[in-house]
Amino acid sequence: MRLQDYDTKTRYQAKVLRSERLTPAESRHEVRDITVEIEGPDFNVEVGRNIGVLAPGRAELGQEYHLRLYGVADLPGTSDDGSKQVTICVRRCTYIDQYSGEEYPGVASNYLCDLSPGDALTITGPYGQPFEVPADNEANLILICAGTGIAPFRAFVKHLYKEQPDFKGCIKLFHGGQTGLDLLYRNDEKDDFSLYYDRDTFEAIDALSKRPGWSDASGWGHAMLDRAEELSSLLNDSKTYVYVAGVERIRDELDEVLSSVVGPHQNWAQRKAELQSEGRWTELLY
């Protein structure tokens, strides 16, 4: 679904409650954890969904606003007056103009990263729910994410361990970044996932790359190939769900790695198609 196809007629006013940098100052990437309070008790948002942010558009292009979607990155809260409090994870981005070759700041990400507590903004949504919480408390979860793709899984894992105390399934979180500084919610600035390290059912695995992207076999590939037997067993378990979030280019790289994981005796493309048809493989890529 294209961004221009999303319904933005229903809009909500919101204000920034908190904006904290997740990446250390020495990291070349600025990623912020931003909490907003959304006016209106009828704005209902759940873990796994997205909210839309309407950043001011470019007047010279006739744009009223610039829409971008952000996944819910923490358990939603509620203020005393019933307003929803939602946290999102935002990376300050730039892009290269394909015609001029010039570099420009990303509209929505820079708008959000420049906001301070008390500043107002306009919200739409919520939209979709790509990552369903399994009803089976013994379901296994393979969570695969790159960069800010970890945000929805942060909320997802918190929900399972706080709201579903009977959950006993296995969770494998594969999180990729270019350096250890970029392992969001798993660095010295904020380490939410350390809360679950003492659980036998939870494991967070680094998938670091020495080069931009995820093409370096010493990171992304080895992180999964080192656990090939275990992953192959999980993928053949009818209780296993695979959720993937991050940049679109990881799709082909992931398919290549998992083809090696399942081995020559199993057609990975066919197996993935089966998982998708059964609702046990879901991607949220951008």
Q: Which amino acid is at 116?
A: S
- At residue 150, the pLDDT reads 85
Q: Is residue 3 part of a domain?
A: no
Q: Is residue 132 part of a domain?
A: no
Q: Name the residue range of residue 53's domain.
A: 8-126
pLDDT tens series, the chain, 286 aa: 677 788 999 999 999 999 999 888 888 889 999 999 999 878 989 888 899 999 998 777 677 899 999 999 999 999 988 899 999 999 998 888 778 888 888 899 999 999 999 999 999 999 987 788 888 999 999 999 887 888 888 888 889 888 888 899 999 998 876 555 456 766 555 666 676 666 788 888 877 554 444 444 446 677 888 899 999 999 999 999 999 988 787 888 889 889 999 988 889 999 999 999 999 999 888 7
Q: Do 157 and 225 sit in the same domain of this protein?
A: yes
Q: Do 108 and 177 sit in the same domain of this protein?
A: no
Domain stops at, among 80, 96, 126 = 126
Q: Is residue 184 part of a domain?
A: yes
pTM: 0.83
Number of separate domains in the chain = 2
CATH code where residue 66 lies: 2.40.30.10
Domain stops at, among 126, 157, 177 = 126
- At residue 218, the pLDDT reads 41
